[in-house]
Amino acid sequence: MPFTVYVLVFLGIPLYMVVHGSLTTNGGSFTFDNFKSTFTSPEYKAAFENSLVLALWTSLLGALFGVWLAAAVIAGKPGGMLRRVVSSASGVFAYFAGFPLAFVFIATLGAEGAATVLLRNLGVNLYAGNFRITSILGVGLAYVYFQIPLMVILITPALEGLRPQWQEAAQSLGATKLSYLRHVAIPVLAPSVIGATLILFGNAFSAYATALALAGSTLAIVPAQIDDAINGNVLVGQTNVGLALGVEMILVIVVVMVGYGLVQRRARRWLQ
Amino acid sequence: MSTGSVGWIAADVLIDEVAPAGRAPTRRRRARPRLWRVSILLLAFIYFIGPLVSAFKYSLIQADGSYGFGNYWKIVNSSAILTALATSLEIAGIAAVVVVTLMLPTVVWVRLRRPKLTLLLEGVTLLPIVIPPVVVAAGLEQMQRSAPSWVVSLLFNHALTGLTPFYIVLAMPFTYRALDTGVRAIDLRTLVDASRSLGASWFTTMTRVILPNVQTAVLGAMFLTIALCLGEVVIANLLLYQTFPVEIIQQSLAGTAGIAVALSNLSLVFTFVLLFSLSFVGSRRSGRASRVF
């Protein structure tokens, strides 16, 4: 297949270079030191912590509001205008991670952004405390902008798969609305929700474009550290440590994807 | 994973809307406006529309503090921005064509002859999602450094040759899914058998029989590839190529945030129109396609 050859050349070679580089010293001999220094250096530890925290809270918040929004939309008319608009808009917004999103947020929550100015006129000074658009919180707020639509996209099929007959059956057996939710809807939906949240997590963990446009490579998350290490922005000769960080990032994403595969199998039991 | 993974999901959404509905709509009770619904819809409206409005307002603030279209005029008159935009559009155009010529025959061939390879194909096309873009960029940087000089002069000396092959790889996950959805929706075997038994070559079958039938999916795949190429910034930035999004970031770092916001507004509108127009093309085509069968 020409396609497989193509992927092997244009993805395989860069990937090989990353793994190879992460396991060699600057002189070219084999070593594990690059990985060791990613675990001992306080900066890299902090970067991993920041990345995980950022991915965790944006995925949980995105999942919560995403499910809520999707449920609100689905409760409406099946072919209605609301559904049409939300489904197209989700496709578009989920796709707008990256620099346009970053600048939209600078215009909104930056030091002179519209929301910042509006709140200041109302007597709330966002920038009085630690809040900056370049901080983990500021960047995270921008991430949620694509996490919620992504959740809506991922979870809508599962919500649609909840058959009305199940609710009718539960009600005719005397279940209240609450017990229907507790014993039918939530157990059926749980694997899908967990799976979608994992995707959101991976999405935020490996994302860099938005943070790059908002904060340059100064925000201490893992992709920014890789960027710095490779371009020698802070210390020269750290390239291979950067590559080791890259390998570790891939491993985290692989774990997330395996988890996704496992819950997905479980989700298919009831929802087709 | 950022744009890539979202891409294949977006591909699904767009193509699903376009594909003839397989499932009968489930009947639900007539909705009454209730607090839990109204509140989230209102919140979502503020959170999603608010920033867009502020971005538009921000882009209208000119260098001297007054309101006007000055930033937009500066864009049209800046040769650096226009050059970068031309480079990005070239990359996008080439990538969109190559990715479809590469993927469509593969998808058709696998569906017809080697259905068992579907799993492998899905696995391979998932790879660009598992590998974060910054890691791909790091690998490329290594490749640049240690590659023999003929590779460097052939590939890496210009943004066009240095980025296009890799953007094609990044575009694969969702191109594959879009095309696969399209090919699944037609009666591939009958079409191919009919065409072949009438004496058509494989090339003719592909271009004159299959391609027109999966037009919407192909367009979707191309549009998403174009959107990806116009938005990808991590690899281009790390490899120091002057593409459109890199130029925008430099504008903002140079202190002209107004222009940067204006530029990103333009690219938002462009991508939105691109993806939105697809849903119209789709609904028109599906009406015609149903008459063919």
**Rounded to whole angstroms, how far apart are CA atoms B211 and B178?**
13
**Rounded to whole angstroms, how far apart are CA atoms A139 and A125?**
18
pTM for the structure as a whole: 0.81
Kind plus residue range of the DSSP H or E element containing A89: helix A81-95
Contact criterion met (CB below 8 Å) for A59 and A195: no
Backbone angles phi, psi at B61, to 5 degrees: -75, 120
The pLDDT, as a whole number, for residue B16 is 45
The pLDDT, as a whole number, for residue B3 is 43
Q: What are the pLDDT digits (tens) for B30-57?
A: 555 688 888 999 999 999 889 989 988 8
Q: What is the mean pLDDT of residues B58-87?
A: 84
**Rounded to whole angstroms, how far apart are CA atoms B162 and B144?**
10
B59/A107 CB distance under 8 A: yes
Question: Who contacts B49 (Cβ-Cβ below 8 Å, separation ≥6)?
Answer: none
**Candidates B51, B143, B237; nearest CB to A17:** B143
Contacts of A92 in chain B (CB under 8 A): 10, 271-272, 275-276
Q: What is the mean pLDDT of residues B76-85?
A: 86
Give the model's confidence band at B285: pLDDT under 50 very low, under 70 low, under 90 confident, else very high. very low
Is B130 strand, coil or helix?
Answer: helix
**Where do the DSSP E strands lie in chain B?**
none
Mutation choice for A interface testing from B102, B142, B163 by most A CBs within 10 A: B142
Biggest distance spanned by C-alpha atoms of chain B: 71
B139/A17 CB distance under 8 A: yes
What sections of B60-116 are H helices per DSSP?
Answer: 70-77, 79-112
Shortest distance, CA B156 to any CA of chain A (angstroms): 13
Per-residue pLDDT of chain A (272 residues; tens, 9 = 90+): 677 788 888 888 888 888 988 888 877 778 888 888 888 888 888 899 999 999 999 999 999 999 999 999 888 777 677 887 787 778 777 766 677 888 888 888 888 888 888 888 888 888 887 788 888 888 999 999 999 998 998 888 888 888 888 888 998 998 888 888 888 888 888 999 999 999 899 989 988 888 888 887 778 899 888 888 887 766 667 788 888 999 999 999 999 988 988 888 888 777 65
- Give the burial string for A143-154 (b: 16+ CB within 10 Å, else e): bbbbbbbbbbbb
Question: Who contacts A161 (Cβ-Cβ below 8 Å, separation ≥6)?
Answer: A270, A271, A272
The pLDDT, as a whole number, for residue B67 is 84
Residue B32: other Cβ atoms inside 10 A: 7
Question: Who contacts A244 (Cβ-Cβ below 8 Å, separation ≥6)?
Answer: A22, A34, A35, A37, A38
Q: What is the mean pLDDT of residues B188-210?
A: 88
Q: What is the mean pLDDT of residues B135-160?
A: 80
Quote the mean pLDDT of chain A: 85
A146/B6 CB distance under 8 A: yes
State the ipTM, two decimals: 0.82
The pLDDT, as a whole number, for residue B29 is 52
Contacts of B109 in chain A (CB under 8 A): 1
The pLDDT, as a whole number, for residue B69 is 84
